Structure 1
Amino acid sequence: MSGDAAHLPEAMRRQAWRQVREAYGWHTPLTPRHADLDLLRHLNNAAAIGLHIEARIRWLDAVLPQPAAEGLRLRPAGLWTDFLAEGGYPAPLEAGVALLCVDAEAAHIATALFQQGRCIGLQHAELAAWQDGERVPLPAALVQRLRAQEQPHPMPAEVHATFGTPPARSVDEALATRYADLDADGLLSDLALARYLEHGRSRWWLDGDADPRRLPLAGSVNVMVAHIAVRVYRATPVPATWQLRTGVQAMGRSSVTMRCRLFDGARLQADSEAVLVAIDPANHRPAPLPDAVRERWSALLPAA
């Protein structure tokens, strides 16, 4: 391997240190709820994302006891989540948190979820400062306080990746904002955003004639979420109605990448890509996508 290649960023799941409990300098216990289970009786992806968020918020409360400047909000500009293994109920979890680096642009925070001696999921959060709905530099005093917590590690490759051209065909839906979708800042919560995007993916399966009682199943295989990337572009007061737009971004032998975008009117609020993998329930290994799924969705892929 050349010297340059040796320093290329690795995908988060392939960074060996990420799945080691002792690599994280701060830990907190977490408790799954029965309501977090999906139809396969595993922790659903939005619930898992919520557990990462909870760990990050607890860490921030521990290391930043002083409130941010008036009107300034620390919120994610990007979230990358890998789902490594099935989480269950009611076994307790433990989360590890590490601050990888911080500068005037953002703080990069790694979290990992551990259950029954194994790492079941990873998340990388790009935490930015927001004021009046727009991203602004992190205050110098805040950067200085956070640097005392740094555990330097390379950024995962996902942080540098860009999304492709959105698919031309999509399922569009209007979503009404609910009171429960707001967080303590009066803005759309990170967990609510994760559930909106989950809803978009599920609607796509429904419009593909999947039986809603069996979602997210397709034929003889299970369809599991392996990775979700989310970028957030605005942090403004929520509208009464959102527009959610979901389509097929790419397709492989056993996987499909879904693109889901959330709009406030004509303004893009958040953009995401999610990789879903077909799994053989007998051996829990990747399996070919069902022919019916491949035939219907191949015609909807973006033009080469």
Structure 2
Amino acid sequence: MTESTARPFRCQIMPRYTDLDTWRHVNNTRAYHIHQEARMQAHMHRFGPDAWFADGLCLRPQRCLTDYRQISWYGQPLEAEVTLLGCDRQQFHLRSQLYQNGELVGIQDAFIGAYDQGRWVDLPAAIHQQLQSECSAPVSRDQLPDNDYKSLASQAHNFPVRQQLTPRYADLDADSLRSEAGLARYMEQARFGGIRQLDMQGLGILIARADISYCNFRPGWHAVELASGISRIGNTSFVFTGCALDKDEVQAAANSVMVVINPQTNRPAPIPASLREQLQAWSI
């Protein structure tokens, strides 16, 4: 991807006890939220202390690709670095990197667009000009993986794993939209709804990458339908493709790369035949 001419923004974020999961490390979706917080801190540094809210047009991610490099832990701060890598009229590209104890634990590439009354529009001129003054490089998409999972999600009624969620007040953000954080949790639940049904044969599982595309952020109180299935099976990993349906319309969709782990060595392990058969039964 294009090298940025913009100066990186840096801040420190302390994981909270409520960010931990049952494995007693920072939950992967909560790590996503920490990337989001780093982006917001960088946004306020760039556009002013009141830039965290909007009463009309909002800036929201169209796509986020999060790589989980290492586990992060409670009790030690995360050092965040956020860099503007490109900008055009439709979106801008931010990369956030999280470090703990000097080790890189996660990277997120966020492609941010302007969202207004349920649709994507061009970036406001003032925002575009400010970003262009810091980084004149265009948004580069050449090295991005395909997001063909969005077209798969259009066939979600055929996905083998289904579940319903009741939206909560906590799923709304400060602009009264369904939040990015909430939709990221929905994508986690879409894959976990399948994972919890698998007989892992004593093996563990970790997420290596989550690639989420956001279609809209409309709020609502009716049940949300989560649907998922398996779109790829490798030697030690597989891909869960999932989506959240709001009134039968895709609100968010994701590919999640899951790695099978030997708990004794904490290293990737070949997928055993019995687990492979279970995954194949959910192929989409």
Using the size of structure 2 for normalisation, the TM-score is 0.89
1:120 equivalent to 2:105? Answer: yes
How has the CA–CA distance of structure 1 residues 86 and 69 changed in structure 2, closer, same or farther, with 3 Å as cutoff? closer
Equivalence for 2:132: 147
1:47 equivalent to 2:30? Answer: yes
In structure 1, C-alpha distance between the alignment counterparts of 2:142 and 2:182, rounded to whole Å: 26
SS of equivalent to 1:207: coil
How has the CA–CA distance of structure 1 residues 274 and 151 changed in structure 2, closer, same or farther, with 3 Å as cutoff? farther
How has the CA–CA distance of structure 1 residues 259 and 222 changed in structure 2, closer, same or farther, with 3 Å as cutoff? same
1:285 equivalent to 2:267? Answer: yes
| Deviation digits for residues 40-88 of structure 1 (CA, Å, limit 9, x no counterpart) | 2221110100000000011111101265885110001111100001111
| Deviation digits for residues 215-267 of structure 1 (CA, Å, limit 9, x no counterpart) | xxx22322000000011111223343211111111111110100111111121
Gapped regions of structure 2 (runs ≥ 5): none
Within a 5 Å distance, the mapping from 1:182-201 to structure 2 comes to 182-201=172-191
SS of equivalent to 1:148: helix
In structure 2, C-alpha distance between the alignment counterparts of 1:46 and 1:247, rounded to whole Å: 19
Equivalence for 2:91: 106
Identity %: 32
Letter paired with 1:92: P
Instruction: Indicate if the aligned counterparts of 2:86 and 2:136 stay in contact, CA closer than 8 A.
Output: yes
The farther-off stretch of 78-87 and 193-202 is 193-202
Letter paired with 2:185: R
Match among 149, 166, 170 for residue 160 of structure 2: 170
How has the CA–CA distance of structure 1 residues 266 and 158 changed in structure 2, closer, same or farther, with 3 Å as cutoff? farther
How many residue pairs get aligned? The number is 276
How has the CA–CA distance of structure 1 residues 151 and 104 changed in structure 2, closer, same or farther, with 3 Å as cutoff? closer
Equivalence for 2:196: 206
Letter paired with 2:187: L
Letter paired with 1:173: Q
Letter paired with 2:193: R
1:162, distance to aligned residue in structure 2 (A): 2.2
Using the size of structure 1 for normalisation, the TM-score is 0.83
How has the CA–CA distance of structure 1 residues 128 and 240 changed in structure 2, closer, same or farther, with 3 Å as cutoff? same
1:28, distance to aligned residue in structure 2 (A): 0.6
In structure 2, C-alpha distance between the alignment counterparts of 1:69 and 1:52, rounded to whole Å: 20
Q: Which runs of 4+ in 1 moved over 3 A?
A: 66-70, 151-160, 164-169
Instruction: Indicate if the aligned counterparts of 1:134 and 1:235 stay in contact, CA closer than 8 A.
Output: no
Instruction: Indicate if the aligned counterparts of 1:239 and 1:264 stay in contact, CA closer than 8 A.
Output: no
Within a 5 Å distance, the mapping from 1:32-43 to structure 2 comes to 32-43=15-26
Equivalence for 1:268: 250
In structure 1, C-alpha distance between the alignment counterparts of 2:274 and 2:263, rounded to whole Å: 18
